[in-house]
Amino acid sequence: MQQLIKEIEDLRARLPRLRREQLKETPTRSKVINPLLRALGWDVLDQEEAEEPLDLPRSTSYDGG
């Protein structure tokens, strides 16, 4: 839990700079999402733990529910 708290605090400190960078998807994942997932205990490089994104037709709405 301490690692997660530290990662969130670090992210909060870097957030203004990250916002100015206007990151695209890949840098956002590597600089923001992956460190948080690692702090939660996920192996972000393990393909067994990751699922591919859903390939929905453009006309399909997905509300997460």
Q: Which residues have CB under 8 Å from 32's CB, separation 6+?
A: 11, 18, 23
Give 3's pLDDT tier (boundaries 50, 70, 90): confident
CA distance 30 to 34: 5
pTM over 0.75: no
Q: Rg of the chain's alpha carbons, rounded to an integer?
A: 15
pLDDT in tens, 27-49: 999 999 999 999 999 888 887 77
